[in-house]
Amino acid sequence: MLVVVILVLAFMYMRATRKKGSARPGMLSIAFLVFAMIVLLAGQVHSQDITAGLSVVDKNLNPGDEAKAVLSITNKNYTGYRTDVFARYSLLDPAGNLIKSESGTFPVSDSRDIVLKLTVPQGSSPGAYSFMVYMEHPQGSDTYTDSFRVEGPADYSVLYALTPLIIGAVFVMVFISRRKR
């Protein structure tokens, strides 16, 4: 689109400078075209190609633990100019409901690993949770997700119920074996 606009402007400029008595209209036209091409190419040189990936550090957590994820961002067309990347990172429960969310803007040159942290709330039920990152960059936006498990507190109720039964069975067996003698 920008190329078409530049060509139309160049054509209009050349037609306007064709009058008799104007000094070197051809040279002015060439200078204008060179300037337009430099502007066009300068815009392309600074284009970015941002890719990223997300990885949760610890896949098994308990309520109250800190969920850590590493957002690895790579700028494939790095030309010496850094770009700012906006990231909104969230914790989702097993049903996909939002538990908590934070955001930040991070400068990226050629590549960067960003450690994102959110605390799993106390009282969270066991299950598969998700760490989700929505990232905006100059080319658009992307969403990345990785999952982890939240384990519940240890349930010893079955052990407490079986312990008296096992002790009782041992006493009965000892008592029966002594009686037979």
How many CB atoms are closer than 10 A to CB 54? 21
107 forms beta bridges with 84
**Residue 21's pLDDT is what?**
55
> Which CATH number among 3.30.110.30, 3.30.230.10, 1.10.3720.10, 2.60.40.3880 corresponds to the domain 50-150?
2.60.40.3880
pLDDT tens, residue by residue, 158-170 = 777 778 888 877 8
3-state secondary structure of 8: helix
pLDDT tens, residue by residue, 108-158 = 988 999 999 999 999 999 999 999 999 999 889 999 999 999 997 656 677
Q: What is the pTM of this model?
A: 0.59
Average pLDDT value for the chain: 81
**Residue 160's pLDDT is what?**
76
Token readout for 155 is 């349930």
Taking alpha carbons only, the member of 66, 65, 62, 85 closest to residue 75 is: 85
3-state secondary structure of 56: strand
109 CA to centre of own chain: 16
